[in-house]
Amino acid sequence: MDKKRIYLSCPTMHGEEQKFIQEAFDTNWVAPLGPNVNGFEAEMAAYTGCGHAAALSAGTAAIHLALKLLGVEQGDVVFVSDLTFSATCNPIVYEKATPVFIDAEPDTWNMSPEALKKAFALYPHPKAVICVHLYGTPARLAEIMAICAEHQVPLIEDAAESLGSTYQGRHTGTFGKMGIYSFNGNKIITTSGGGMLVSADEELTKRATFLATQARDPARHYQHSQIGYNYRMSNITAGIGRGQLLHLEEHKAIKQSIYRQYQEAFADIPEISMNPLNPEGDANNWLSCMTIDAGSEATPDKVMDALAEENIESRPIWKPMHLQPVFEQYDFIAHHEDGSSVGADIFERGLCLPSDIKNTPEDMRLIIGTVKKCFGRA
């Protein structure tokens, strides 16, 4: 195809990344740990206000260690957002614990506090709750935290998609007992791959670092009294992160502008709704998404096909976890009284629009024009 490819969300490098990497090369400090890892952790802690941070090989590794640190093990129940990427809940199953999927609510597409309450009535003693800030929109944290506090169950925030988003003026990822971020290639900033576990409690991030470096006891010889992991971030990877972090606010501003452009362009098409924002927060708008009213002639598949014709990348909304074959044996708690799933409805009627910060005004016009045509507008 000779048409220019327009991307959903892919890495944007600025040059400073290379300076940090060059320093690592010049000092032969390419191996795990080193000044970039320490620097990246300190700079992320300063930016988010999280307190303490442990740089890891992936966001998934960070979720896994968060569960380990809370002592999640076989037979334990963990409540987790249903409308998310599988990486949120896979680590629950690594530990042979039992996920219970909590439906989304329509206001933010995140964990429904109403469904969470119902889940506590059915399973009074879960070991942890993992809530996601989907596509960068903060969850209804005040209500979720109040429910968790009432039951004295720790909250883990999966802020993989919401780095830079705030809720009541504070960064997502800093409300729970622990939070996690991802620097995967498609996220708002990337290290090519990587993640971070953050907490106000330094003891937790220290123990995460310990477990992430093969759980070596302090001794001259190699002594182990726990099972460890090889989950640490390398000094090269962290160098990319330090350079990227300098541009996070700029990435966020462009993503927010992309969202507003779609919102304005589709304002006169009543069948289209943009993904919701939380009025108590400031979203990073990692991905702009839309839903199409049921019964409209245009469907997500038709819109995605029309975009693909123009070599424009788009993708479906995450398919809810309770609909995934690999998780079918686990319980699902619906938001609505009639048991119908809000997440499944969003999945069926929604799609993610191109949200790459390098997309030009001309690209945006082509994307918007292509979508509008599907609704019979010029």
Ligand X SMILES: *Cc1c(COP(=O)(O)O)cnc(C)c1O
Binding mask 155-174 for ligand X (x = CB under 6 A): ---x-xx-------------
Question: Which residues make Cβ contacts (< 8 Å) with residue 18, sequence separation at least 6?
Answer: 243
Q: Which is nearer to ligand X, 59 or 243 (CB)?
A: 59
184 lies in the binding site for ligand X (CB under 6 A): yes
Is there binding between residue 85 and ligand X (CB under 6 A)?
A: yes
Applying CB under 6 A, which of residues 108, 112, 182, 275 lies at the interface with ligand X?
182
Specify the residue, 134 or 269, whose C-beta has the smaller distance to ligand X: 134
**Can residue 88 be called a binding residue for ligand X (CB under 6 A)?**
yes
Strand pairing partners for 350? 291
Residue 195, interface with ligand X (CB under 6 A)? yes
The dihedral region occupied by 191, where left means phi > 0, alpha psi between -120 and 50, and beta the remainder, is: alpha
Nearer to ligand X, 61 or 298 (CB): 61
Asked if 201 contacts 208 with a C-beta cutoff of 8 angstroms, the reply is: no
Question: What's the closest the beta carbon of residue 226 comes to ligand X, in angstroms?
Answer: 23
Tell me if 82 contacts ligand X by CB under 6 A. no
- Shorter beta-carbon distance to ligand X: residue 100 or 298: 100
Q: Are strands 77-81 and 52-56 parallel, antiparallel or unpaired?
A: unpaired
# residues near ligand X by CB under 6 A: 14
Closest to ligand X by CB, 60 vs 172, is 60
Q: Please identify, using beta-carbon distances, which residue of 24 and 87 lies nearer to ligand X.
A: 87
Does 87 engage in binding with ligand X (CB under 6 A)? yes
- Which amino acid type is present at position 302? K
Instruction: Using DSSP bridges, classify how beta strands 170-171 and 281-282 pair: parallel, antiparallel or unpaired.
Output: unpaired
Stretch that binds ligand X, among 56-64, 95-103, 164-172, 253-261 (CB under 6 A): 56-64
Residue type, 121: A
Picking from 96, 345, 276, 85, the residue whose alpha carbon sits closest to that of residue 195 is 85
Closer by beta carbon to ligand X, 259 or else 266 = 259
Determine what percent of the chain falls in helix, strand and coil, rounding each to the nearest 5. Answer: 40, 15, 45
Site string for ligand X, 129-148 (x = CB under 6 A): ---x----------------
According to CB under 6 A, which one of 9, 36, 48, 84 is a site residue for ligand X? 84
Nearest CA-CA partner of 333 in 83, 121, 115, 92:
115
- Based on the shown chain and the rule CB under 6 A, indicate whether residue 290 belongs to the binding site for ligand X: no
Closest-CA residue to 234 (of 42, 17, 21, 19)? 21
Which residue minimizes CB distance to ligand X? 59
Measured in residues, the chain has a length of 378
Nearest Cα to Cα of residue 258 among 108, 187, 133, 364: 364
Contacts with ligand X, 7-46, as mask; x by CB under 6 A: ----------------------------------------
- Residue 60 Cβ, how far from ligand X at the closest point, in Å? 3
Torsion sign over Cα 140, 145, 147, 153: positive
What is the full DSSP assignment across 172-198? TTSSSSEEEEE--TTSSS-SSS-EEEE
The tokens for 301 are: 């598949």
- The whole-angstrom separation of Cα 294 and Cα 189 is 35
Site residues (vs ligand X, CB under 6 A)? 58-60, 84-85, 87-88, 132, 158, 160-161, 182, 184, 195
